[in-house]
Chain A
């Protein structure tokens, strides 16, 4: 039982560390990118919640922000970038286009990125306000904290 106690505490501490050091990869394509820029800059400042580092290299990032419309031409690129990210990784679908295709219900647009990659937090809005972005980030942090963490020397069942 003693061992379990340490594991649980370690799980908690790891979750705490991970949720406040989210290096994000912005997969910015379209309109929502403007609101992403607003959220990242001084007025709203995503850095207050520990997600200030924008990493444009997938291997160094923990969280992927899929910002803007994903067309069928861009879909393989998104999938490749997601596959290149190292575990643990989380995805926020930023904006209605990524959640469901939004107003672009036509031949060119992927009707929701969850057809390609798993999504942790859905953030609707066309585009979402920066406040909403921060709310989504807090939601993701709660999720990360409550998750069972994975680490290198963890005992596999």
Chain B
């Protein structure tokens, strides 16, 4: 009689490794509920003593049906799902999707919006690397690193929160621009974030770079040659740690990255330590990019905020006479800043959310609002297919969208960078000790949402 108990069922499942392993060796299961497996990976190990003879990595524990769900959502509505893919750097995920759509629609984005996008995606990259190294070091036993890095990340997320209204799942970068302008006081918060991050990076370098325990666990462990890395389709910090110069921001510059002055840090050996080091150096470079972008960003929109009144003031003044000045609305309210739209949104009115001022004050505005959100209307790209990729936290984050001319994608596929990295994990840990699995797995920065989608 077939069993219906799910636990019994899963116990009866055999894996490839269980069938192929020799009877003398010890089988060990790691994960999915294991502190170092991030809750979503299961590694089966065939051991001789502590040495790994063979292994099998099982993914798919966080499969949330992202791609299929997107086929049933309009192009505007599926944006929040992209946030939750690589949830450590959601803004880069937004950017990848949005820029693919812009390529499909043939839209130009104003310069200011491009600068905002660069600042936001570099901040996301820093938070991604911070989290990766924090988790890696914590799993090796260095809990201090986690506390320090999370401190720095909080300051970075303050910048996100101030401008976008959310800490991580922001949906801030929209098709045709960004949701709202930078907060008028963003510079102070951003400067604090940069300073604090610099301090933390210096501390971490001091704690880890020459730390004997850390070096023993990372140096010359899981060495990957450039050939192997390229064969597996690696990109991003993991590929650069093997010494291959490939960064989409340099190779195929998008936004305003070609005007920015930054280096691409490279590793030499392609081991765990190089992957750690490349991430540390990349954060420095990201901070440099942000500082340059802060200096160069066009100031036009910030001035328009000068001639506005606080709501409380306006109510008080309106008791005596009619108030002519504009009332200051929260910058986080969608569409509350019509006069800024020219700076942060494209001129193509059909693909952006109409400003709320129009929606509430004129019948044409109301109609355009409905036309944007109504089923079978809204953003309708031409028939065809398009691929575009940006440099995500883990590497080349590509979106492939097939459009059949309706308001929903016919097919949406994501080229997730860590999927390719994870494919090489079995080869990386082959021949090493069980304890080496943990820093190796930590250094490749597996993100479940992106891996399993």
Contacts and interface: CB of A to CB of B under 8 A. Distances in A.
B12 to A, nearest CB: 12
Q: What DSSP secondary structure best describes chain A's contact surface?
A: loop
A41 B229 CA distance: 35
A74 B64 CA distance: 11
Contacts of A41: 146-147, 150-151, 154
B98 to A, nearest CB: 19
Given A43-B150, A69-B62, A103 B80 contact: yes
Nearest to B66: A104
Chain A residues touching B, range: 35 or more
Interface string A30-50: 110111011001110000000
A10 B437 CA distance: 47
Interface string B259-273: 000000000000000
A108 B65 contact: yes
A17 to B, nearest CB: 26
B87 A31 contact: yes
B126 to A, nearest CB: 14
B61 A73 contact: yes
A106 interface: yes
A23 interface: no
B250 interface: no
Contact of B449 (A28, A30, A38): A30
B64 A69 contact: yes
Q: Chain B contact residues (Cβ within 8 angstroms of A): what range?
A: 35 or more
B323 to A, nearest CB: 35
B63 interface: yes
Contacts, number: 106
B7 A35 contact: no
A112 to B, nearest CB: 15
A74 B153 contact: no
A23 to B, nearest CB: 14
Contacts of A103: 80-81, 84
Contact of B39 (A27, A76, A79, A108): A27
B9 interface: yes
Contacts of B60: 73
A80 B7 contact: yes
A74 B168 contact: no
A104 B65 CA distance: 8
A109 interface: yes
B61 A42 contact: no
B449 A31 contact: yes
A29 B448 contact: yes
A43 B131 contact: no
Contacts of A42: 147, 150-151, 154
Interface stretch (B30-38, B101-109, B349-357, B363-371): B30-38
Contacts of B153: 38
12 contacts: A27-B33, A29-B62, A30-B448, A37-B131, A37-B150, A38-B153, A41-B146, A41-B151, A71-B62, A71-B63, A76-B6, A129-B167
Interface of A: 27-31, 33-35, 37-38, 41-43, 56, 68-69, 71, 73-81, 103-104, 106-109, 126-127, 129
Interface of B: 6-7, 9-10, 32-35, 38-40, 60-65, 68-69, 80-81, 84, 87-88, 131, 134, 146-147, 150-151, 153-154, 157, 167-169, 448-449
Given A27-B39, A68-B62, 4 more contacts: A38-B154, A43-B151, A78-B33, A81-B33
